[in-house]
């Protein structure tokens, strides 16, 4: 039985520091929110590099280090085929979707549906999206707590609060959920972008550390080369060469389609593309995401493949987990990292999940406020809502969604492994909503009702095949492809009913003209999107780095020496200094 370093006082200090930073970021961002343009899209002045890191971080959460780790532990190198799929999706964004979203000239994501189809389509999407988004937030919190409660070592403990008895997982849900809601409600999109940037720094350093440490441990004292040699010689051939589900043509093609949709027409990506100053910046942002999506998974999946040699029997280590292989990454961290870095890893997983939840809050609150609440007030004869009133409405919406998500996390059932549940859940709710958006962005000559019709067709066909139990061996592919086929067929048929002289087609015609017209380069300098935001991230990196350097004096083991804390702290300090240099004021000429 290996000796695991569960979280101690030093780790709690770092975790608490991270929570304090996230909350501070929310209040710092609140000072930038002068109105809804700031709250929903940061006035289009987010530096492209920060927006790119933010979009990349928004693409994963605790899911990547729990559910995806379990999938990698089971399937080996085939997981690399799956988890680098975002690279090709981002490249599609670079060549087409990024500039199109920038040209759409929208203040809130679902405003696109109003322009492309009709206000009715926006109402339909907003109302039908609320429950799936709440379930998604709840699922993210649940998966996060599998990781964190294990690392903290209190998954079997009980806590008493206001007469209630809470399990360790439930207590963590309350704490994390409260922080998530607070900084999202206060800070808006600026909070999401700034916190995502911090998360990107944390995850980068964690990955740089855990990759060589785990491979060297596999090498049994012979260094990295010996570790790679053991991987190549002792792991099964079908584990090293992609095989099984990851390369099954039906599964792989469906996953690629889902990635194309998820990384290009998901509403939080539309927000990111509209948060940068220009089309050129949007394309740079997509290209950065492609590069990070190719390199990032390598640093997470290869160590988990090594875990097959380090922990050949995960069930014996974690008998209480329904899918013990999903604890493979946290097991590596608890074995090979010293106190201090353990807290650092927990903070990284927390940060990724918080960022993903914030994105869900932000776009849905923007849709409810801009595309439902404001038009309904006008329709019922009330006075127009002021900009401040709209921002407060968005914050209240975020609060309600967040509290509902935390509450649902307490009761959500665990249906199989987290990866399997997440795949099936997304295959049911994702493509059906996304396909009409992508089709409408590519082709604009269909009538106002085509968005709702193609969305309904996608869900009808998906649920029909589910009810019939068709293709039970290809559930994921069946759900994704049925949504794609049903939506596309109805969308194409609807094109025959297009009439340019229909008054309801006027806005779609204007949108078509906008999408063909490049957005002029922004002349703004400084302001909300000024380069000084890099200085903020640099200062926070310095703070965390100095704390880790201080952890170089904590007690450690030969397997997990405290020198790892010093290396990580040094990397963070270096990153912080570079970011502060980038943010320095430009020298005035003469």
Q: How is residue 303 written in tokens?
A: 């160590």
pLDDT score, position 410: 75
Axis-axis angle for helices 341-366, 563-582 (nearest 10): 40
Domain ranges of the chain: 9-422+499-522
pLDDT score, position 453: 97
Mean local confidence (pLDDT), 378-386: 83
Dist CA 345 CA 349 (whole Å): 6
Q: How confident is the model at residue 421 (pLDDT cuts 50, 70, 90)?
A: low
The closest alpha carbon to 23, from 191, 193, 197, belongs to: 191
Please check the confidence at residue 358 and state whether its pLDDT lies above 80. Answer: no
H/E run at residue 158: strand 158-161
Dist CA 330 CA 2 (whole Å): 13
Higher per-residue pLDDT: 12 or 1: 12
Range from 32-46, 186-200, 211-225, 568-582 carrying the lowest mean pLDDT = 32-46
The proportion of the chain whose per-residue pLDDT surpasses 70, expressed as a percent, equals 82
Cα 577 to Cα 144, 534, 572, 587, distances in angstroms: 31, 10, 9, 19
Q: How confident is the model at residue 107 (pLDDT cuts 50, 70, 90)?
A: confident
Range from 52-61, 106-115, 397-406, 575-584 carrying the lowest mean pLDDT = 52-61
Cβ–Cβ under 8 Å, residues 452 and 121: yes
Higher per-residue pLDDT: 183 or 75: 75
Q: How is residue 346 written in tokens?
A: 């927990």
pLDDT score, position 529: 43
Mean local confidence (pLDDT), 443-465: 96
Q: How is residue 65 written in tokens?
A: 């280090």
Please, what is the average pLDDT of the chain? 82
Query: Residue 416 phi/psi, 5° resolution?
Result: 75, -160
Dist CA 488 CA 454 (whole Å): 7
Please check the confidence at residue 494 and state whether its pLDDT lies above 60. Answer: yes
Q: How confident is the model at residue 24 (pLDDT cuts 50, 70, 90)?
A: confident
Please check the confidence at residue 568 and state whether its pLDDT lies above 50. Answer: yes
The closest alpha carbon to 357, from 201, 180, 189, 190, belongs to: 180
Dist CA 531 CA 535 (whole Å): 8
Please check the confidence at residue 416 and state whether its pLDDT lies above 50. Answer: no
pLDDT score, position 306: 94
Please check the confidence at residue 546 and state whether its pLDDT lies above 70. Answer: yes
Q: How is residue 461 written in tokens?
A: 């066909």
The proportion of the chain whose per-residue pLDDT surpasses 90, expressed as a percent, equals 36
Please check the confidence at residue 34 and state whether its pLDDT lies above 60. Answer: no
Instruction: Give tens-digit pLDDT for 142-173.
Output: 777 766 766 666 656 677 777 777 766 677 77
pLDDT score, position 218: 95
Question: How many Å is the maximal CA-CA distance in the chain?
Answer: 77
pTM exceeding the 0.85 threshold for the entire prediction: no
Contacts of range 302-305, beta carbons closer than 8 Å, 24 or more positions apart: 302/211, 302/215, 302/231, 303/210, 303/211, 303/214, 303/215, 303/329, 303/332, 304/69, 304/72, 304/73, 304/79, 304/328, 304/329, 304/332, 305/72, 305/73, 305/76, 305/77, 305/231, 305/235, 305/239
Q: How is residue 96 written in tokens?
A: 């087409």
Q: How is residue 388 written in tokens?
A: 């401040």
The closest alpha carbon to 177, from 20, 368, 401, belongs to: 401
Q: How confident is the model at residue 359 (pLDDT cuts 50, 70, 90)?
A: low
Please check the confidence at residue 126 and state whether its pLDDT lies above 70. Answer: yes
Task: Dump the DSSP string for 413-469.
Answer: ---S-HHHHHHHHHHHHHHHHHHHHHHHHH---S-TTHHHHHHHHHHHHHHHHHHHT
Instruction: Give tens-digit pLDDT for 247-264.
Output: 999 999 999 999 999 899
The single-letter DSSP state of residue 371 is: I
Q: How is residue 496 written in tokens?
A: 């025959």
- Tokens 């920038």 sit at which residue? 102
pLDDT score, position 492: 97
Alpha helices in 244-278 (DSSP H): 249-262, 267-274
Helix, strand, or coil (residue 184):
helix
Instruction: Give tens-digit pLDDT for 95-105.
Output: 999 999 999 98
pLDDT score, position 353: 66
Cβ–Cβ under 8 Å, residues 54 and 190: no
Cα 407 to Cα 63, 114, 174, 177, 401, distances in angstroms: 20, 32, 9, 9, 10
- Tokens 């109105």 sit at which residue? 35
HEC string of 489-544?
Answer: HHHHHHHHHCCCCCHHHHHHHHHHHHHCCCCCCCCCCCHHHCCHHHHHHHHHHHHH
H/E run at residue 166: strand 164-167
Mean local confidence (pLDDT), 230-237: 94
Dist CA 303 CA 331 (whole Å): 11
Domain 9-422+499-522 -> CATH class = mainly alpha
Please check the confidence at residue 363 and state whether its pLDDT lies above 70. Answer: no
Higher per-residue pLDDT: 375 or 512: 512
Instruction: Give tens-digit pLDDT for 263-318.
Output: 999 877 887 788 788 899 899 999 999 998 998 888 889 999 999 999 999 888 87
Instruction: Give tens-digit pLDDT for 184-204.
Output: 666 555 556 666 677 778 778
pLDDT score, position 526: 45
Q: How is residue 383 written in tokens?
A: 């006075």
Radius of gyration, alpha carbons of the chain: 24
Mean local confidence (pLDDT), 539-564: 86
Mean local confidence (pLDDT), 20-40: 60
Task: Provide CB contacts within 8 A for 18, sequence distance 6+.
Answer: 202, 347, 350, 351, 544
Mean local confidence (pLDDT), 366-386: 79
pLDDT score, position 232: 94
Task: Provide CB contacts within 8 A for 444, sequence distance 6+.
Answer: 116, 508, 509, 511, 512, 515
Range from 128-137, 188-197, 399-408 carrying the lowest mean pLDDT = 188-197
Q: What angle do CA 449, 454, 455 make, to 5 degrees?
A: 100
Mean local confidence (pLDDT), 115-120: 93
Cα 414 to Cα 73, 212, 220, 417, 418, distances in angstroms: 20, 34, 37, 8, 8
Cβ–Cβ under 8 Å, residues 202 and 347: yes
Dist CA 131 CA 433 (whole Å): 13
Q: How confident is the model at residue 413 (pLDDT cuts 50, 70, 90)?
A: very low
Higher per-residue pLDDT: 406 or 286: 286
């Amino acid at each position: 039985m290996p000796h695991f370093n569960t979280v101690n006082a030093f780790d709690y200090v770092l975790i608490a520091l991270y929570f304090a930073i996230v909350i501070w970021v929310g209040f710092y961002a609140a000072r930038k929110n002068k109105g809804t343009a700031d709250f929903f899209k940061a006035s289009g002045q987010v530096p492209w590099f920060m927006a790119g890191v933010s979009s990349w971080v928004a693409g994963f959460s605790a899911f990547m280090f729990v559910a995806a780790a379990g999938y990698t532990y089971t399937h080996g190198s085939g997981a690399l085929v799956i988890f680098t799929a975002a690279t090709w999706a981002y490249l599609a964004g670079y060549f087409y979707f990024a500039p199109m979203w920038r040209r759409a000239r929208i203040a809130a994501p679902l405003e696109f549906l109003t322009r492309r189809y009709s206000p009715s389509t926006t109402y339909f999407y907003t109302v039908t999206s609320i429950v799936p988004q709440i379930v998604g937030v709840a699922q993210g919190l649940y998966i996060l707590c599998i990781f964190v409660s294990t690392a903290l070592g209190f998954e079997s403990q009980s806590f008493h609060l206001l007469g209630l008895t809470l399990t360790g997982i439930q207590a963590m849900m309350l704490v994390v959920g409260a922080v998530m809601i607070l900084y999202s409600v206060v800070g808006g999109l600026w909070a999401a972008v700034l916190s995502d940037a911090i998360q990107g720094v944390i995850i980068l350093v964690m990955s740089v550390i855990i990759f060589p440490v785990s491979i060297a441990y596999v090498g049994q004292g012979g260094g990295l080369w010996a570790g790679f040699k053991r991987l190549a010689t002792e792991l099964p051939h079908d584990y090293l060469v992609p095989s099984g589900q990851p390369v099954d043509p039906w599964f792989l093609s469906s996953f690629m389609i889902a990635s194309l949709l998820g990384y290009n027409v998901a509403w939080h990506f539309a927000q990111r593309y509209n948060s940068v100053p220009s089309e050129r910046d949007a394309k740079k942002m997509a290209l950065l995401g492609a590069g990070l999506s190719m390199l990032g998974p390598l640093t997470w999946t290869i160590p988990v493949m090594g875990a097959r040699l380090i922990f050949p029997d995960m069930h014996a280590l974690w008998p209480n987990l329904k899918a013990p292989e999903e604890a493979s990454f946290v097991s590596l961290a608890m074995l090979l990292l010293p106190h201090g870095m353990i807290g650092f890893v927990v903070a990284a997983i927390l940060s990724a999940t918080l960022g993903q939840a914030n994105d869900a809050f932000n776009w849905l609150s923007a849709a409810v406020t801009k595309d439902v609440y404001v038009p309904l007030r006008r329709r019922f004869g009330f006075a127009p809502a002021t900009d401040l009133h709209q921002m407060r409405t968005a914050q209240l919406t975020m609060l309600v969604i967040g509290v509902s998500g935390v509450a649902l996390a307490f009761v959500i059932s665990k249906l199989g492994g987290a990866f399997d549940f997440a795949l099936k859940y997304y295959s049911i709710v994702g493509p059906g909503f996304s396909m009409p958006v992508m089709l409408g962005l590519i082709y604009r000559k269909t009538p106002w009702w085509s968005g709702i019709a193609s969305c309904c067709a996608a869900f009808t066909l998906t649920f029909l095949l589910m009810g019939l139990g068709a293709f039970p061996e290809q559930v994921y592919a069946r759900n994704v492809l049925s949504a794609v086929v049903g939506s596309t067929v109805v969308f194409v048929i609807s094109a025959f009913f297009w009439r340019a002289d229909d008054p309801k087609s006027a806005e779609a015609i204007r949108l078509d003209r906008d999408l063909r017209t490049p957005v002029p380069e922004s002349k703004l300098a400084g302001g909300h999107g000024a380069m000084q935001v890099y200085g903020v991230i640099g200062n926070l990196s310095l703070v965390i780095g100095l704390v880790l350097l201080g952890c170089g004096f904590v007690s450690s083991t030969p397997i997990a020496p405290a020198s790892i804390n010093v290396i990580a702290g040094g990397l963070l300090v270096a990153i912080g200094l570079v970011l502060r240099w980038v943010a320095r004021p430009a020298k005035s000429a003469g």
